[in-house]
Structure 1
Amino acid sequence: MRRYLTGSSEGGSSATVALLLLMVLTFVTGVVDAVGFLALDRVFVGNMTGNIVVLGMAVAGADDLPILGPVIALGTFTLGAFVAGVFLRRRRKEWGGAVTLLLLAGTVVLAGLGVAFLVPAWAASSELELIASSLTAAAMGVQAAVARSLAVTDMTTVVVTSTLTSLASESLTDGGIKGFWNRRFAAIAAIFLGALVGALLLAFGAAAPLLLAAALTASVVAVGHRYVFTPATASIA
């Protein structure tokens, strides 16, 4: 019988762990988006809505905004999500081997870019900035596809506009101030704190926040594979 992230007591425990892990990935999105916007020529690597808005204003010639970076980030994010979707399409709502491998690939990308920014000759290179924003966006596309596949409510890891809407229009109207303190608020707080930490770490160069993001993603992979992983044989009814 298939073991979903919700359902039985074991599934409920897995669901709790999955929720916490996706909160960590939401924090990671805040970290890397701070890097993208502040250090990689104002490119959002996780929030594609921001890139579309920036691109629209850039095409209008406003404030000397970049065009190439957001366009490539949009493309690589989409490509990352597509590739992840191909691997995940047969096993939704569960942590299979594909989830582990996809997040591990994102870890390698973030770690590799962090190391690259430690090389003085490369750190100030505009080429590395473009490569970093492109590859990080691809990693975030993979992460977003994984989060969508796991389908933990209100945990997309990359978008909080819909989460904020749900918090205001549902949680607050149904439960008043008591309804404010829930996973929706936690998701918003996580991406805020991630951006805060990412911006502060940029004082030590782009390598610091990228390596932190890689370490956190690696931790998610390790914990998720240990406590949420569903063997392929469990998918057979």
Structure 2
Amino acid sequence: MTLTPSRKLIYPDSDGQPMADNTLQFRWIVLFKENLECLFRDNLDVFVGGDLLWYPVEGHPEIRVAPDVMVVFHRPKGERGSYRQWEENGIAPQVVFEILSPGNRLAEMAKKLEFYEQYGVEEYYIYDPQLNELSGYQRVGNRLRVIEEMNGWVSPRLGIRFALTDDELLVYYPNGERFKSTVELAQELEQTHQELLLERERANQETARAEQERQRAERLAAYLRSQGINPDEIGG
């Protein structure tokens, strides 16, 4: 009897779905992902992923989900095609974010909540940028429980604070600085650059004025000496 070799399981790096359905959703995904990267830039054991397939169970490639943003503590930074939990010391993402679009269905979001609850997520945040609505869940025992008041909520894991205004969501670093887009950071960098140029120009002008004063004093001293006057004795 000839034995058929077992088929090697494939864990695709893509589910064929777009990262975002529109520019608003994409902008918020990038805002969270990039700012969380900045928040933990000096911590080599915090991995931040965006639109990355997470496979929690070895041998079951059909069990998967791709959070818009996920944060995993105690895992090294680095490139990954997907997050295969059994290759990551069995550590599940502790914090996940989903940014909604009009295409997200209630049943789909309920299924994701069940998935995150079953596979160990500690904090789950959902933001709808079109309706400016923020929801959050925190693990209590084996369940993800609704966070009753999100305005002013501080993430226990991340230390970031959420503030809902009438127009949009504001998110703050633990040091009080606001999450900023790449454009805002570029504008701040340009402003800082211009301020440094102005400061350098002012310093150069002060140096030039001081040099002019020194030369004027030397000319005056030379003139006084030519008249038989010792400038060092004046005012003595």
Give the TM-score normalised by structure 2: 0.23
Higher strand share: 2
Q: Give the number of the structure whose alpha-carbon radius of gyration is greater.
A: 2
Higher helix share: 1
Give the TM-score normalised by structure 1: 0.23
